[in-house]
Chains A and B, each alone.
Chain A
Amino acid sequence: MKLLNIDYEKFKLKNGLEVILHHDSSLPLVAVNIWYRVGSSNEKKGKTGIAHLFEHMMFQGSANVPKEVHFRYIQEAGGTLNGSTSFDRTNYFEKVPSNFLDLALWLESDRMGFLLPALTQEKLANQIGVVSNERLERYDNQPYGLAWEITISNLYPNGHPYSWPTIGSMNDIKSYTLEDVSGFFKKYYSPSNAVLVIAGNFEKDIIKDKVSKYFEDIPSTNGTNNNFDPGSSSSNVKLDKDIFIERNENVQLERVYFAWHTEKAYGPLDNSLDVLSDILAGSKSSRLTKHLVYDTEMAQDISAFQFSGKYDGHFMLIATAKPGIPLNKLKAEIFKELENIARNGIAQKELTKSKNMIKFSFINSMQNFDVIADHLNHYNFYLNEPNSFNYDLKRYEEVNNESIIKSVSKYLTNHHVELQIKPIDKKQNV
């Protein structure tokens, strides 16, 4: 699709910073998006959550930017901004009116090069408080909020970089010192470990000088990026038996989580597993939703997804039982359907529906410069080619009955993790 063919120019500065430019003058806006090749998968067990805590510290000011003003300057310019941390990477992004591009580049370059002089114990203590509350608000105090953490810590082997959640454990979060934070910066925040994308309305003739002006004098540190070595192939990570976990929580309905090892991002069946999740539980007419939520009303809701990262991936299926319906009954129905697909495949119509939804979502993602910028960085990171929108769409168009059958029989018949969360038995508690 012509629409998805995104022109870009890619080059490297002397300090190793990779730069990707995409020009589009249809709106007076410009997006700046930086990916640092570091995420929670670079952490070690017992020292988790620092990649994310560090992301917070990047908003606490740098040598020439006082605390609290990073947000203020961008908002004053009419821009939006944020950052996020995942297993594989940390990103920082701003979208500003195009005449404020310099401001965004100045702020990003100051913290890339000159964060440490502004680091204080007071700021660290403050952000440890904020991040502890983020953990409480988003996980500990949410119904079923610990399910992801429990699932991955049982699914991935001890020490595997995806076996702990990006937010980190509360004890680890509270343990960090200034030394930890500055060590992390020196190790991972070198310009040679980052990629800068600028997408949108900028002055073509001076953009490269502008990038050099702000970024070229930032020294590259010698920190090595000692990423996890997945060994021969991460897809070899396998469970040798089913793992069953049962928990009682302060919830009303019983819910079950199933997780299977699958494969990493852009692996041969990653696309089919995505489409499979849609065919199973992506819409009202999808197989499990229709059968369990609509026809029999055994479940209140059901969802499925393929998670895939740089090192590994897994498939998850989550179902909430209607009051009075035992989870094992839901389980039996779910496994019956998986078996059915492995044996009989799926209908052409099911594929068409999913593919059309996916195609629309690609077109939809072309609406914002900030989304395009983040995608360019995403494709550059995983595929080493920023302009991979059409490649990615084609990957989904190529999914067929055989590859769906294969993705079920190769992965979803293997050993899995099953987590059951049930209400606390009030009688026991009295």
Chain B
Amino acid sequence: MSEILDRSKKPGPRGDIKFNLPQIERFNLKNKLNVLFVHKDNLPFLRFNLISESGSKFDPKEKKGLANLFSMVLDEGAGKYNSIELSEEFEILGSRLNVSCFNDNIHLSLQTLTENLDRSLELLATVILQPHLDEKSFEKERRKILTTIKQLQDSPEDIADIAFDRIVFGEENAYAFPIIGYTENVENISINDIKYIYKNNFSPANSTLIVVGNSTKQQLEEKLNIYLSDWKSANNNNEFSLTSGGENLSIYLIHKEGSVQSEIRIGHLSGKRNDKEFFAKHLLNLILGGQFSSRINLNLREDKGYTYGATSRFNYLKGASHFFVSCSVGSENTGNAINEILKELTEIKNGITDTELEFARSSIIRRYPGNFETHGQITANLASLVLHSLPDNYFNTYIDNIRKLKIEDINTAAFDNIHPDRLSILVVGDKNLVLPQLRGLNIAEIIQPDMWGKI
């Protein structure tokens, strides 16, 4: 017999849960390559992620897209294998090597069944140590990228993301450019540029290898030294510019003929990741726009029905960060949606409520164990540790750092970090439908850059 239930009462938690954070083990290979290892033995596989600080922020002025093109060519043949054979060797193991380029880093990631560990490391090492970087593959990959750049103009989200970076970071900043590059720049890159990057930027001295899975520190140390210790350090090219962008309220409109929606980005530059207000900003954003139940989404989606979803975030790169709100709304509601977002960004500076603080804090703290469930999640957490040079006890102190925040801390963070008078507002949509609405906002002159955000 079941007991009689009073449905009007929301059930609370039953007791507390126990949870142990994964232990991070560190060691160096003979060539000084940094290794971060987390032991996890519930499944018979391992995940590797090599992070090399040689991302697109180092691209020279006339060669935007160089790091990305390098990352595309890197696995096009290595050792005794041509491009297709190399891919087949991974596939035969049920595995696939992914090379991706980001603003700060290039990632080489790989999952392997434990039974194939040696063979996978051998192949990974072949790619790192003996890539062909031949002219024919280079030309192939370059043609592919040039076509991809052409295709970008089909996608309103991509146009908005790329143009917004350029607007917010400002012309000269190393983070202002699309990782994929510009057509005229990519055409300018030669195979010698690729070889130069391999020799000078891609190096154990600026790299970290993350390993998660069922092995031991001792076993890994031994195997990794066999396969990877011949990888030698080179000169590091560490120059990039971090000048700042615009600081005035401004509106930009990029015309996309026939669009039935407007892609909206609204934001400004923000403080760095190691800023002491980081935790307060994280909580603040959860209240403002970081999840479904945040103010911005509840207003624009659940109250007004303008959009399928609206979010805000602080986006942290290694040397800079920005805050922005993004959403996609029916063209006819473009002006209204912008108005509501501006209202929310002004309103948050009047302070949050105790209920909101409790909600956000509880959500983060209770969610925390779930962030370490999969190999992929643990790897991603370690990658952010590496990217931002955070201490190893970062995860262990995380919950305390959230718990001790007071309402004043959040309100100060809003005061310090949300600046309605410095926002860049970008709309990608059909000019004929949108321009009158933007004029009607009556807040700034409307600038109309090209699809790359160039004025």
**Interface on A for B, CB 8 Å cutoff?**
3, 26-29, 63-64, 67-68, 71-73, 75-80, 95, 97-103, 105-106, 109-110, 114, 125-134, 136-138, 140-143, 203, 209, 212-214, 216-217, 250-253, 283-285, 290, 294, 297, 300, 322-323, 349, 352-353, 356-360, 363-364, 366-368
Q: Contact: B154 with A143, CB < 8 Å? A: yes
Q: Contact: B306 with A133, CB < 8 Å? A: yes
Alpha-carbon gap, A141 to B160, bound state (A)? 14
Query: A357's contact among B91, B261, B359, by CB below 8 Å, is which?
Result: B91
Q: Contact: B259 with A141, CB < 8 Å? A: yes
Task: Pick 10 A–B contacts, CB within 8 A, sort by A.
Answer: A78-B366, A79-B370, A97-B369, A110-B7, A129-B304, A130-B301, A133-B308, A133-B330, A136-B328, A137-B308
A356 / chain B contacts, CB cutoff of 8 Å:
91-94
A138 / chain B contacts, CB cutoff of 8 Å:
308
Q: Contact: A300 with B148, CB < 8 Å? A: yes
Interface stretch of the complex, out of B37-45, B126-134, B316-324 = B37-45
Excluding A99-B14, A106-B10, A212-B2, 12 further A-B contacts by CB distance (< 8 Å) are: A28-B17, A79-B370, A109-B7, A126-B304, A250-B154, A284-B83, A290-B84, A294-B84, A353-B91, A353-B92, A363-B43, A367-B43
Q: Which of B11, B43, B292 has the most CB of A within 10 A?
A: B11
**Interface on B for A, CB 8 Å cutoff?**
2-3, 5, 7-8, 10-19, 42-45, 83-85, 87-88, 91-96, 111, 113, 140, 143-144, 147-148, 150-151, 153-156, 257-261, 291-293, 298, 301-308, 328-330, 359, 362-370, 373-376
Q: Contact: B261 with A137, CB < 8 Å? A: yes
Alpha-carbon gap, A366 to B326, bound state (A)? 34
* Contact of A3 with B44 at beta-carbon distance under 8 Å, contacts A133-B308, A133-B329, A297-B140 already known: yes
Q: Contact: B113 with A363, CB < 8 Å? A: yes
Main secondary structure of the interface of A (DSSP, over half): helix
Alpha-carbon gap, A38 to B397, bound state (A)? 46
Query: A27's contact among B88, B303, B373, by CB below 8 Å, is which?
Result: B373
B328 / chain A contacts, CB cutoff of 8 Å:
133, 136-137, 141
* Contact of A29 with B370 at beta-carbon distance under 8 Å, contacts A71-B293, A136-B330 already known: yes
B83 / chain A contacts, CB cutoff of 8 Å:
284, 294
Q: Contact: A300 with B291, CB < 8 Å? A: no
A212 / chain B contacts, CB cutoff of 8 Å:
2
Which residue in chain B gives the minimum CB-CB distance to A95? Answer: B370
B258 / chain A contacts, CB cutoff of 8 Å:
250
Q: Contact: B370 with A76, CB < 8 Å? A: no
A127 / chain B contacts, CB cutoff of 8 Å:
305
Closest beta carbon of chain B to A283's beta carbon, Å:
6
Q: Contact: B7 with A76, CB < 8 Å? A: no
Alpha-carbon gap, A212 to B4, bound state (A)? 10
Q: Contact: B305 with A126, CB < 8 Å? A: yes
Q: Contact: A213 with B5, CB < 8 Å? A: yes
Q: Contact: B7 with A78, CB < 8 Å? A: no
A130 / chain B contacts, CB cutoff of 8 Å:
301-302, 305, 307-308
Q: Contact: A283 with B91, CB < 8 Å? A: yes
Closest beta carbon of chain B to A312's beta carbon, Å:
29
Query: B11's contact among A3, A68, A102, by CB below 8 Å, is which?
Result: A102
A213 / chain B contacts, CB cutoff of 8 Å:
2-3, 5
Which residue in chain B gives the minimum CB-CB distance to A278? Answer: B91
Which residue in chain B gives the minimum CB-CB distance to A356? Answer: B94
* Contact of A103 with B147 at beta-carbon distance under 8 Å, contacts A75-B293, A141-B259, A360-B111 already known: no
Q: Contact: A67 with B359, CB < 8 Å? A: no
B8 / chain A contacts, CB cutoff of 8 Å:
64
Q: Contact: A128 with B113, CB < 8 Å? A: no
B16 / chain A contacts, CB cutoff of 8 Å:
99
Closest beta carbon of chain B to A114's beta carbon, Å:
7
Q: Contact: B94 with A360, CB < 8 Å? A: yes
Q: Contact: B91 with A68, CB < 8 Å? A: no
Alpha-carbon gap, A392 to B328, bound state (A)? 40
Which residue in chain A gives the minimum CB-CB distance to B359? Answer: A76
* Contact of A363 with B359 at beta-carbon distance under 8 Å, contacts A78-B365, A141-B259, A294-B84 already known: no
Q: Contact: B291 with A75, CB < 8 Å? A: yes
Q: Contact: A77 with B308, CB < 8 Å? A: no
Closest beta carbon of chain A to B395's beta carbon, Å:
16
Closest beta carbon of chain B to A29's beta carbon, Å:
6
B305 / chain A contacts, CB cutoff of 8 Å:
125-130, 132-133
Closest beta carbon of chain B to A371's beta carbon, Å:
9
Which residue in chain A gives the minimum CB-CB distance to B40? Answer: A367
Which residue in chain B gives the minimum CB-CB distance to A134? Answer: B308
B365 / chain A contacts, CB cutoff of 8 Å:
78
Query: A323's contact among B15, B150, B330, B374, by CB below 8 Å, is which?
Result: B150
A98 / chain B contacts, CB cutoff of 8 Å:
17
Q: Contact: A102 with B14, CB < 8 Å? A: yes
Which residue in chain A gives the minimum CB-CB distance to B8? Answer: A64
Query: B306's contact among A106, A129, A353, by CB below 8 Å, is which?
Result: A129
Q: Contact: B257 with A300, CB < 8 Å? A: no
The 4 residue pairs across chains A and B that have the minimum distance between CB atoms? A129-B305, A78-B366, A356-B94, A143-B154
Q: Contact: B147 with A323, CB < 8 Å? A: yes
Which residue in chain A gives the minimum CB-CB distance to B19? Answer: A28
Closest beta carbon of chain B to A239's beta carbon, Å:
30
Alpha-carbon gap, A290 to B14, bound state (A)? 56
B3 / chain A contacts, CB cutoff of 8 Å:
209, 213
Alpha-carbon gap, A128 to B3, bound state (A)? 39
B87 / chain A contacts, CB cutoff of 8 Å:
283-285
Q: Contact: A106 with B330, CB < 8 Å? A: no
Query: A366's contact among B43, B111, B113, B293, by CB below 8 Å, is which?
Result: B43
Q: Contact: B10 with A360, CB < 8 Å? A: no
Which residue in chain B gives the minimum CB-CB distance to A366? Answer: B43
Which residue in chain B gives the minimum CB-CB distance to A72? Answer: B293
Q: Contact: A29 with B329, CB < 8 Å? A: no
Q: Which of A67, A105, A284 has the most CB of B within 10 A?
A: A284
Alpha-carbon gap, A136 to B305, bound state (A)? 13
Alpha-carbon gap, A100 to B305, bound state (A)? 31
Q: Contact: A78 with B111, CB < 8 Å? A: no
B7 / chain A contacts, CB cutoff of 8 Å:
63-64, 106, 109-110, 114
A216 / chain B contacts, CB cutoff of 8 Å:
2
B301 / chain A contacts, CB cutoff of 8 Å:
130
Alpha-carbon gap, A47 to B150, bound state (A)? 39
* Contact of A68 with B94 at beta-carbon distance under 8 Å, contacts A129-B306, A134-B308, A290-B84 already known: no
Closest beta carbon of chain B to A201's beta carbon, Å:
8
Closest beta carbon of chain B to A99's beta carbon, Å:
4
Query: A252's contact among B150, B260, B306, B366, by CB below 8 Å, is which?
Result: B150
Query: B42's contact among A26, A72, A95, by CB below 8 Å, is which?
Result: A26
B292 / chain A contacts, CB cutoff of 8 Å:
71, 75
Which residue in chain A gives the minimum CB-CB distance to B45? Answer: A363
A95 / chain B contacts, CB cutoff of 8 Å:
370
Q: Contact: A106 with B11, CB < 8 Å? A: yes
Alpha-carbon gap, A290 to B84, bound state (A)? 8
Q: Contact: B257 with A250, CB < 8 Å? A: yes
Alpha-carbon gap, A294 to B141, bound state (A)? 9
A142 / chain B contacts, CB cutoff of 8 Å:
155
Q: Which of B7, B150, B330 has the most CB of A within 10 A?
A: B7
Which residue in chain A gives the minimum CB-CB distance to B143? Answer: A297
Query: A253's contact among B19, B147, B291, B370, by CB below 8 Å, is which?
Result: B147
Q: Contact: B261 with A133, CB < 8 Å? A: yes
Q: Contact: B2 with A209, CB < 8 Å? A: yes
Alpha-carbon gap, A95 to B259, bound state (A)? 37
Alpha-carbon gap, A63 to B9, bound state (A)? 12
Query: B10's contact among A103, A283, A366, by CB below 8 Å, is which?
Result: A103
Alpha-carbon gap, A79 to B375, bound state (A)? 19
B291 / chain A contacts, CB cutoff of 8 Å:
75
A294 / chain B contacts, CB cutoff of 8 Å:
83-84, 140
A133 / chain B contacts, CB cutoff of 8 Å:
261, 305-308, 328-330
Which residue in chain B gives the minimum CB-CB distance to A215? Answer: B2
Closest beta carbon of chain B to A74's beta carbon, Å:
9
* Contact of A78 with B363 at beta-carbon distance under 8 Å, contacts A72-B293, A356-B91, A364-B111 already known: yes
